[in-house]
Amino acid sequence: MKIIENLISRYCPDGVEYVDLGEVVVFTDGHSFSSGSFTESGEYQVVKITDIFGGLVNRGKTFINELPEKLKNGQQLSGGEILVAMSGSTGKTGYNTLSNAVVNQRIAILRNQDCIENGYLKHLLVNGTFETYCFKNGTGPQNNISKAQLLRYRIPLPPLPIQQEIVRILDTFTNLTAELMAELTARRKQYEYYRDELLTFGEDVPRMMLKDIAISVSSGKNKEKEQNGNYPVYGSTGVIGRTNIAKYSKEQILVARVGANAGFVHKASGTYDVSDNTIIIEMKDEYNIQYVYYILQKMNLRQYAKGGGQPLITAGELKKIEVPIPSINEQDRIVSILNKFTEIGNSLDSGLPAEITARRHQYEYYRDKLLSFKENHV
């Protein structure tokens, strides 16, 4: 921080110039593609607004094989651009590291001019302040922000040596966070690999329909929940409320029945009730319920969902699923190993993620401090 103070005293003792964003970036809007040209794989990714999250432009699922003839200069990405959603999720901003990608309509592509460091621009814009500005200045049902309004956003523009020092300091925090995220991802993938290995069986292991190893497969009935009550009400992904009237008092497997989480597998135990958007699997005692829980997690039940806008899984569909059923001794052995893996996974969830959160808060503190300047009104 002392270095920054010395640089400010040297280069701009009377304050820093503030300028409109449009004075320091080159703006390009996204291309209006024909959706009929989209494929699930191909030569070029078409970046959509849904691909912008977590401060990054992420690998998506929409591609084309040939570039359109009317593609403008700047609509193809090479890395280092900042993309901003101009409709819907207005203001959602991400830094791009992709190449061989093109940008869909209603996304602004911003490239830095020589007067502003690329990294400095990234730290200025990929944060909640800029996103809030864009969102508040959007209009209409889709909350569209215009090019003119977006480019009127005011930013501090210190001399390049100050920008470069700020980037050096802030990149230290973001690089550390990226390393921790990579470690967490690697450990979770390792867990998933060993889990899948344990739950992969040859043809010698018999398969049984879920309906034949369960007492019942049916939807919950609860439609009323309270904030206060003696018992939890389980929904698609966990506890969603409380109730004073509990219907169940044994461990059961739950599957999200409808919506974006359709197919998500979790469990309930103790005394509780279950909402009507969740399927309950009550297991027969001769099968290890924890084993069935693990195998259903591995099977990706979302593949059985029907419908696009509101995916739905029915109890009838789940009943027909074939589950590999080894001997009870083998089920118990697998559960014993996976339970230990789960304990490790839970320790990761309370260890590394907590450290990642702390580093992000530290970054945000120093970012806000370093990017706050006295304005030179001359």
> What residue ranges of the chain have pLDDT lower than 70?
1, 308-309, 345-351, 378
DSSP state of 330: H
CA distance 317 to 305: 9
- Tell the burial category of 204 from Cβ atoms under 10 Å away from its Cβ (0-12, 13-18, 19+): exposed
Question: What is the third-level CATH fold of 18-157?
Answer: Adenine-n6-DNA-methyltransferase TaqI; Chain A, domain 2 (3.90.220)
Sign of CA dihedral 351, 357, 361, 366: positive
pLDDT confidence of residue 153:
98
> Quick one: pLDDT at residue 186?
82
Per domain, the residue ranges of the chain are: 1-16+158-201+348-373, 18-157, 209-325
Domains 18-157 and 209-325 belong to one CATH topology: yes
Q: What is the structure's pLDDT at 348? A: 60
Q: How does DSSP classify residue 60?
A: -
Amino acid letter, 160:
L
Q: What is the pLDDT of residue 62?
A: 92
What's the CA gap between 71 and 90, in Å, rounded? Answer: 24
Class of the domain covering 209-325 = alpha beta
Provide the pLDDT for residue 350.
Answer: 61
Contacts of residue 9, defined as CB under 8 A and 6 or more positions apart, other chains included, come to none
Give residue 162's Cα distance to chain centre: 33
Contact 103, 83 (CB under 8 A): yes
Angle made by CA atoms 277, 312, 321, in degrees to the nearest 5: 100
pLDDT at 179: 87
Tokens representing 173 are: 């925090």
Q: What is the pLDDT of residue 345?
A: 67
Structure pTM?
A: 0.65
